[in-house]
Structure 1
């Protein structure tokens, strides 16, 4: 992202939710890409991930999880096809370890995993959203993806519509440095330029959690609403942890969800525990993702017991810690005891 720094970094600022809702462009700097090449790549991944890979179409992206044998998430991905290559996007802080672990199970499958983060087509990755973003993108793309997780493979790069936030579409645009040099200045003229934390704040308000190093093996997929987001296919074949994930879904053994909160404490980080005042002796949940909210605190996605969400009296670190302010999610947390 050196080109972003050269062209737009002086204009970048940490945006609040009001600014994001109007229209913004921001760098995506914390994500890496794993590429799988080979005729059996889809078949191999289909047996490893929580979602259907074999029927992933060229014009769509999907969320998918990678679980331990105990059904706990080791990683969460955004995945899509690019010609003959399958791509998995995940946080850079776990990419190397996850890529190595997946490679251990390739055995005789005809596929090869590699780090695609710095490939020419992915040298610059930006996020766009808010009310103005759609019209601005139509300068280069027509038509735009009609629904979340639609994808365009275009001469100017890969454009993926992600989950909406603030009542408007969000997009990720992966491009070469050559393309970036042409489009970034115009984007900066027409949209507010945010920093990397601004993009992370938009992801939180879209209600899409992501597993990082601090939260590996802490959650089964349903705890972070992953099946509500389309990240779990319960009709596909086996994968590591599949039995536990299915049991949690159908036998009602899980009574936890992830919700959106504000915490007026910038020290709150992923992996920190939260406590319900009604049950102060043990944690009721854990922070999944955070981002500065531009108002002196952080907004966060926090996994916790459904009873704690309903009571809305939860504090950071202990039952005497900083109080969490609860907000509605952009989608329904269903009423099932899952």
Structure 2
């Protein structure tokens, strides 16, 4: 479609200011939508977040786990078109949707991957732009063709039908950028991302869900709850999501391996969940690592061993937020 052609990578150095208003098509993101009389009760019994108390003007992080507490999906949940939307990377949806449907045969609920488009609105002027689409307040707003969801002070997600997406993009004066800028915002915010290769590997606390309000420890039973509760009350979780930074002379592979220094040797520490490389060769990444590493631990990419990496500060505490 012609209107999608203008989205081009933003040539951004690590010292450059971000655009005051940019919009990105997000083709690597999608959502599972859920409708039906039993949608609330069914979802409540499947995921870590409290669906029952989620009002129509608020979104929440959540995770869907297997019986052992390993995460199939990390998502942002919000009310959408009379039902719910679970916004997440498109690469994990096929497996996640199959798992989510397993026990739905006895419930009045329909779920599917949406055909709608995801657009990311970014920058200092993002909220002012959203205000032109909706006169309502709140962090989740119905708009023509779909829903607008506030991510943070400088970012909104739009989940809308294709005609609405085309209209928004062609009529907007925002800079049209590719989805890498959205990834950069996610990394700098330390937001949990999961890709298909790392599905079913981590418990929710290893992705910092407890620090971001994505786990309710007071709701009823859900799949994997025993492991999640044990991680909290017995302190068995030994990993966390971190932001790391360093130099990279070439593009960084998906799921690139990060190593840590142990004496004079290097040992595997974890695989990157997401990364962003600036035009000046500086880079940022998200990675799950042991949560007891010293913050001065030396790190490096296994396939780019000439550059040392370091920890960057998370913009939030890793303590429980429930």
Helix, strand or coil for the counterpart of 2:184?
Answer: helix
The answer on 1:214 being equivalent to 2:215 is no
For structure 2, the 5+ residue unaligned runs are: none
TM-score by length of 2: 0.88
**Structure holding more strand per residue:** 2
The answer on 1:255 being equivalent to 2:238 is yes
User: In the aligned structure 1, how far is the partner of 2:314 from the partner of 2:188?
Assistant: 8
User: In the aligned structure 2, how far is the partner of 1:309 from the partner of 1:286?
Assistant: 18
Shift of 1:51: 0.7
User: In the aligned structure 1, how far is the partner of 2:294 from the partner of 2:176?
Assistant: 34
Report the equivalent of 2:258: 274
What do you get for the CA RMSD once the two structures are aligned?
Answer: 2.6
Of 262, 267, 286, the residue aligned with 1:301 is 286
Shift of 1:156: 5.2
Report the equivalent of 2:95: 97
Report the equivalent of 2:124: 131
Inter-CA distance 63–40: structure 2 relative to 1 (3 Å threshold): same
Deviation sequence 1:189-246 (CA, Å, 0-9, x none): 3x33221111111111121121111211221111111111111111112222211111
Helix, strand or coil for the counterpart of 1:69?
Answer: coil
Of 10, 13, 37, the residue aligned with 1:13 is 10
User: In the aligned structure 1, how far is the partner of 2:199 from the partner of 2:171?
Assistant: 39
Query: Is the contact made by 2:49 and 2:216 (CA closer than 8 Å) also made in structure 1?
Result: yes
User: In the aligned structure 1, how far is the partner of 2:108 from the partner of 2:145?
Assistant: 30
Deviation sequence 1:55-104 (CA, Å, 0-9, x none): 22222221110112221111111112224322222222121221112112
Shift of 1:16: 5.0
User: In the aligned structure 1, how far is the partner of 2:167 from the partner of 2:88?
Assistant: 27
Inter-CA distance 322–71: structure 2 relative to 1 (3 Å threshold): farther
For structure 1, the 5+ residue unaligned runs are: none
User: In the aligned structure 2, how far is the partner of 1:128 from the partner of 1:186?
Assistant: 14
Report the equivalent of 2:28: 30
User: In the aligned structure 1, how far is the partner of 2:25 from the partner of 2:304?
Assistant: 37
Report the equivalent of 1:227: 210
User: In the aligned structure 1, how far is the partner of 2:166 from the partner of 2:79?
Assistant: 25
User: In the aligned structure 2, how far is the partner of 1:28 from the partner of 1:319?
Assistant: 29
- 1:311-322 to 2 correspondences below 5 Å: 311-317=296-302, 322=307
Deviation sequence 1:1-49 (CA, Å, 0-9, x none): x35424x33x653445634364322111111222222111111111111
- 1:140-151 to 2 correspondences below 5 Å: 140-145=133-138, 150-151=139-140
Query: Is the contact made by 1:15 and 1:194 (CA closer than 8 Å) also made in structure 2?
Result: no
Query: Is the contact made by 2:34 and 2:111 (CA closer than 8 Å) also made in structure 1?
Result: yes
User: In the aligned structure 1, how far is the partner of 2:205 from the partner of 2:313?
Assistant: 18
Inter-CA distance 233–98: structure 2 relative to 1 (3 Å threshold): same
Query: Is the contact made by 1:26 and 1:126 (CA closer than 8 Å) also made in structure 2?
Result: yes
The answer on 1:325 being equivalent to 2:310 is yes
Count of aligned pairs between the two proteins: 317
Inter-CA distance 327–317: structure 2 relative to 1 (3 Å threshold): same
**Structure holding more helix per residue:** 1
